[in-house]
Structure formats: structure tokens, C-alpha cells
Structure 1
Amino acid sequence: MVNDNDPSRTSHRSDPGWKHCHPMDESNLNSTICNYYGKVMKGGVTRAKEHFMAKKGNAAACTKTPKNVREELWKLYKEKADNSSVNPKYNASNANHESEDEVEISIASNDKGRNSGGRKGPMDMFCRNPTAAIEKRKKEKLRQANIKEACDKNLKVSVHQYIAPFWYQAGLSFNLVKLKSFQDMIDAIGAYGPNLLAPSYHEIRVPLINKEVEYTKKLLQDHKLQWSKHGCSIMSDAWTNRKQRCLIKFLVSSLAGTMFVKSIDGSNFVKTGEKLFEMLNPLWRRLGKKMLFKL
């Protein structure tokens, strides 16, 4: 793990901008997180300061930065610009040195090389957060292809060749690759790094699915509030699969959206209006009578 007390590292964390942001990973000072807004940024502390200052150009303005912080950073920025214009030697002397961001990237690369070769410790739980990785992907803007991406192209193709056989052996629909949850899974695995074990047969069919059920129930709370306040519509839809089984789905629609409630195998009876009412009536009574009723 990276030692925060290492003098060679702390010397590059002296910029006043670090008081208002922190690195996403101590081994990569080029990625920072805003302390006020939680925005993930590339470009080191310089890009973070532009974010706090609301400086037009490379970074979106932070709407939650305190006024005194913004004024302080603008003052330091103008003082640096004045020193540069008054003292021509200032630029000449700095031309022979790396910028702070370049030094951060260099140190991060060297530290990463000194790490324990893929082994993980307790602090990795805080340094590599799958949720943060997903949010990072959402908030990042499209970047132009650079040298690193060109070098990684062959590696990406190699990884995709492991994903494709799984897709074909499982007989999955090609449309599933467009699902947001699939990309979220890729991001979470990438954030974890090497040595991730796949979930066991028991985990995938019992505790993990139970957690998803609980998560789905929480999502439905807003729907149920809308039902009681503004009413809702009960809807049914029949569909025949390849085995000629008739499946009848029941859904509830409201201002919050449409929600699936349950399905019934209707292969063994005639679908008349009376029979549908017989199936819908218990659902209507359970949900409450303050709703619109629609077949």
C-alpha cells in the first residue's frame, strides 16, 4: 500500500487545491474527487482548482464551492499570473521542470510499480470502490483517443474474446450487451482488479437474488405512494410463448410509471371478461379501491 507519510509524496501534495479535493486512489494523483460536490475529475489538482474557481475551459464549475474558497483560489491564480508577467525568468525556470500534474502522474506510475503485484490489502476496500467507478464513467465526458488507448486496443480485444464465448455458450440475446447493468458489471470488475472470484452457485441463487428482491421493493415505495394519492390503473396483457402456453401479466400504471405485479399461466381456461375480472378483483381489493380500473 502507498505510504501517505512518505516525504517524496507529501511534497507534491502542498498545493492549496488539495485542501478542497482528494485523490480517488493514492496510487494515482491524476484522478481527484471534489470534497463539496463529489465530482470525479482527470487532470490532477490543476483541473480540480479550475472546477472550484468556475474557470471556463476544461472543467465544469462547482456550484457548491464556498465563496471564500473560490475567492482565495482566484487570488492565488492572479498572483501567479502577475509574477509570471513581471518576472520573465519565472517562466524560463519553470520550463525546465515538470508541471505538478506531470509529477503526480509520474509518482503514481512509480508507486504502482512498487505495489505488491496484484495482491490486495484492507485499504483497497477504500481505494477501489465499484460504486465510485460507475459514477466516474457516468460523469466523464468523451475524450479523444490518446497514445495509451491505442496501446490498450489489443488488450481490450483479448478481454472481449473471453466475454464472447460466455455469451454464445449461455445462448444469451445479443441485445443484452446494451443493458446498462452489463456495463456497470464491467466497471465494477475493473475497479476490483485481479483475483476476483465469481459468485458461487448458492450465492447467485439465494442471497444475491434476495438482495435484488429487497432492492426492487424499495424502488416500488414511490409507486405505492402515488397509488394512494392519485389512484392508478390495473392492466392485463396476454402473451403466448413458443410452447403455446398463454401467460397473462398484470401491471399497475400510475403517475410514477408502470409496474409489473404478477403473471398467471392461462393455458387451461378460456380468457373471457368474467374470468379476467375474477383474477383482477383480488388484486384490486389488495391494492385499495382508490384507483381507476381498466382491462
Structure 2
Amino acid sequence: MVFGKKRQRLEGGQSQNQSSPTDGIHDIEEENYPIEVEEAANTSTTINLSASSSANNCKPLLDEVTFTMNGTGRNPGGAKRWICNHCKKSYNSSYSRIHQHFFGPGVGKKSEVARCQTLLTNRAEFQRIRKKVEEAENAGISPSLSKSTLNNSHSRPTSTTCPIAKSFGTVERHQVDILIVRALCANGIPFNVLRNPDFLAMLKGVNQAPKDYKPPSFDRARTTLVDECQRQLEKELTPVKDTWTTQGTSIVSDGWTNVKRQPLINVVASNSRGSMFMYAKDFTGQEKTGKNIAEFLLESIEEVGPSNVLQVVTDNAANCKAAGKEIEKILLPHFYG
């Protein structure tokens, strides 16, 4: 599409040329005119084509750009130099390229002008412009825009009918990314959660949920739902527990400090079938002596079953060595009678 010759209109049986700067915008799908600049004599080089309300009714994107220079060349109108009112970048093209600047090219076509990055990050403004263009098209677009419309199913299918177009919802995806990062920061959640498979499974479940889905309430989440979640996990870990009696297991324990600076000691049961976290104990206010650590490990040994324990693996600190000797004193008589 290029800015072509002035149209001749017949009024009262006589032809009359109209000199509006936006008249004569007609459709030529492919053009490759060179960039030529010519200053108009005794006039300003800035030309605001949005002054013509009749042209803007069928070409609403003219309100979103400012034309700076007339085009010259084989066509009287030619491609024109314009500046985007949003990203402030200048281009030399026709109206069809303005359409590509705001909405991208049609499916299967190569973009010949860059997208407006400002609108890609401002969803409200993008939706405002899109709605204005769609209303102009639904009201009866100019025949010259038949190849540069949002509602043209042949050149630009909607997201509901074209999976490829649906996958490139750049503005919507960016806004969702911002909401996720904001929620993580507001609740002090580490960014490592984005690598967690359970977090990804949660997002997948939300995407497949009914349209009006709302998250559970605080009271329901911390009572019935967390209990049901625990039962499901225990059911999934049953095949691992069944191998403790046939293959035996190792009790692995280590001490560490969490983000709240609480001294913890955890217990993991591990064998060839897999490792299973059992629990952790907070030793705040307690001295980590060999006797206290031994009593803590004996609780896990009783839960697994003393006859199923092959070994106990701990740190090589002095108190852990003392805990190992305490455990040997208690368990050796159990094995050797």
C-alpha cells in the first residue's frame, strides 16, 4: 500500500480534485521506493496527516503517527517519512507498514518494519489502539485496507483460530511475567522456585482450570488441603517404603541452618530404590551433644525398623562420633541378642 494519487470525486456531475493530504491512500501490496526527502517550499517540513477526519475514520492509525516529510518518486504520493508517537522512532514507509509497526505482519509474511516496543510493554495502550482499529473495520473499512486489517482471516487469523498467532501473545505474556515476579518478591519467595517442577505443575494446573477458578482460602489451605496433600505424598512414597524390608536402608543425617538462622538436623532414608526425606528437628535452645543427637536418630531408626537399618551416616564432627557410639551401645544387643 502506498500514498497514491489524489482521487477525483464527482459532485453535481462535475469532477473536482481534493487536495487533502490523506486522500488517495490506495493499496499496492509490494513497494520498494527509495527514501527521498524534499522540503516543501515556504512551508514547514512537518506534516500532520491526522488533521483529516475523513481519512482517519477509515485509517485510525494515522492518529498514532506524525508525518514529517512528503515522499517523492514515480508515484505522486510515494512512501512518507513518519514518527511513531509512542516509541518516537522514525521510518519511511506506507500505511501498511504502519499497521505492521503496531500489530506485526500477517501470518506467513516477513515483517518489513520493527514492532513498537513501547506498546509491547503497555497493554492498556495497545488494547486501546487495537479496539479503535477493530471498530473502524467493523464499521466498514476502506477498500484500500483490505490487506491490512485485524479481522482479515486470510492475512491475519485470530488467536482462537491460529495456534501460531496464539503462541506469540508477547504483550500478555510479559504482563503475566511481571505479576509472577512481583508475587515472588512480595512474599520473599526465592527465584529458585521457578525451577521447581511442582511450581511448573501448579501453573499447568491453573492454565487447565475452569475459567472462573479462584485459589483456596487461607483456612482451607492450612487445614484440610495440607492434610490431603500429605496423604497423597505418603501414598506415592509407599513403593519406596516397601523396599526397606527387602533391600534395607541407610539413615543419613546432617545439620544445617535455615534462612531464619534456626539450627536444624534432618533425617533421610536412602537405598537403591531412592531417597526419602523423613523429617527435621529444630535444636534451638538445645545443646547438640552426642547423647541428644543419638536420641534424635534413634527415633528415626525405630520408625524405619531396627532390623531394616544397614548403616547410619552422619557428619564427622566430635559430637556426631559420640552419637554413633551411643547408637552402637543400644542397637548391638538388639542384633546379637
Give the TM-score, by structure 1 length: 0.47
Structure in which a larger fraction of residues adopt helix: 1
Which structure has the greater CA radius of gyration?
Answer: 2
Give the TM-score, by structure 2 length: 0.41
